[in-house]
Amino acid sequence: MSVLLAFAAAMLFGTGTWLLLQRRLSRIIVGVGLIGHGSNILLLTSGNGRRLPPIIGSADPTDFADPLPQALALTSIVITFGVTAFLFALGYRSWKLTNDDIVEDDVEDRYIARRAVDAEVAEGEAAERERAIEEDRV
């Protein structure tokens, strides 16, 4: 694979990740699309390079491009499209419910984490009390 194509894949992944880290669902959708394109480049270039289309009868098979990565890339395209369509549906639903397409933090998870720390503090205090009783006895 040439450095140029590797760079293109890297740029697609980099920008895609940047968009995935945003709060807007519409930007996340664009990010998923870009990462999908990046992985297609990786899949395609894992073949044997730039050769003739593998259409039987059109040329000598030794000159064909490796069709297996192409098949995988085709699957990837279809899957990316499926994911994108699903995210569109999510975005539409989000707009219906909140008039916006923002992905909020899950407050419940924050709450659980804070409660765990509270429990820890309580446990430490109980252990402290236990130790005091122990020392009293001895």
Partner 1 sequence: MSLRAPLAPSASMFALLAFHLVIGIAIVAAGQQLGRGGFAVAATAPLAAVIWAITQAGGVLDGKPVTESFSWVGGLGISLDLRLDAFALAMVALVSGIGFLICIYALAYFKPHDPSTPVKSNVGRLAGMMTVFAGAMLGVVLSDHLIALFIAWELTSITSYLLIGNDDTSPRARAAALQAILITGMGGLVLLVGLNIVGQAAGTYRLSEIIENVPTTGSSTALNAGLICVLIGAFTKSAQAPFSSWLPGAMVAPTPVSAYLHSATMVKAGVYLVARMAPMFATQGNWRVVLLTVGSATMLIGGLRALRQHDLKLLLAYGTVSQLGFMMLLFGTGDDHIAQAGVVLLLAHGAFKAALFMVVGIVDHEVGTRDVRRLGGFGKGWRLTLVAGVVGAASMAGLPPLFGFISKEKALDGYIEHGDFVGSTVVLTVIVVASILTFAYSARFVLGLLGVFADPDFEASCVDDVDSQRAQAPSLLFVGPALFLTVFTVAVGLAPVIVNRLVETATMALHPEAKPKPVHLWSGFNTAFVLSLAVIGTGTALTVFRSRVAAGLSVASKAMRLVPSSEQSFNFLLRGVGVAARRVTGVLQNGSLPIYVAIIMMTATGVPLIAFAQEWTGFGDVIETPVHVALVAMIISAALGASIVRRRIAAALMLGAVGYAMAGLYVVQGAPDLALTQFAIETLSTVLFVLVLRYLPSTWTHRAPALAAPMRIGVSVFVGVSVFVFALVASGGRSRSARRSSPRSWSKIRTPRARVRMSSTSFSSTSAGGTRWVKSPSYWSPRPVR
Site for partner 1 in 12-41 (CB under 8 A): 12-24, 26-27, 29-31, 33-34, 37-38, 40-41
What is the rounded CA–CA span in Å between residue 77 and residue 16? 16
Query: Is 83 one of the binding residues for partner 1 (CB under 8 A)?
Result: no
Site string for partner 1, 53-72 (x = CB under 8 A): xxxxxx--xx-xxxxx-xx-
Query: Is 74 one of the binding residues for partner 1 (CB under 8 A)?
Result: yes
| Nearest distance from C-beta of residue 90 to partner 1, angstroms | 10
Q: Which helix (H) or strand (E) holds 28?
A: helix 25-45
What is the rounded CA–CA span in Å between residue 38 and residue 77? 11
Query: Is 132 one of the binding residues for partner 1 (CB under 8 A)?
Result: no
SS3 42: helix
Query: Is 133 one of the binding residues for partner 1 (CB under 8 A)?
Result: no
| Nearest distance from C-beta of residue 32 to partner 1, angstroms | 10
Binding residue (CB under 8 A) for partner 1 from 86, 97, 98, 120: 120
What is the rounded CA–CA span in Å between residue 104 and residue 81? 25
What is the rounded CA–CA span in Å between residue 63 and residue 15? 35
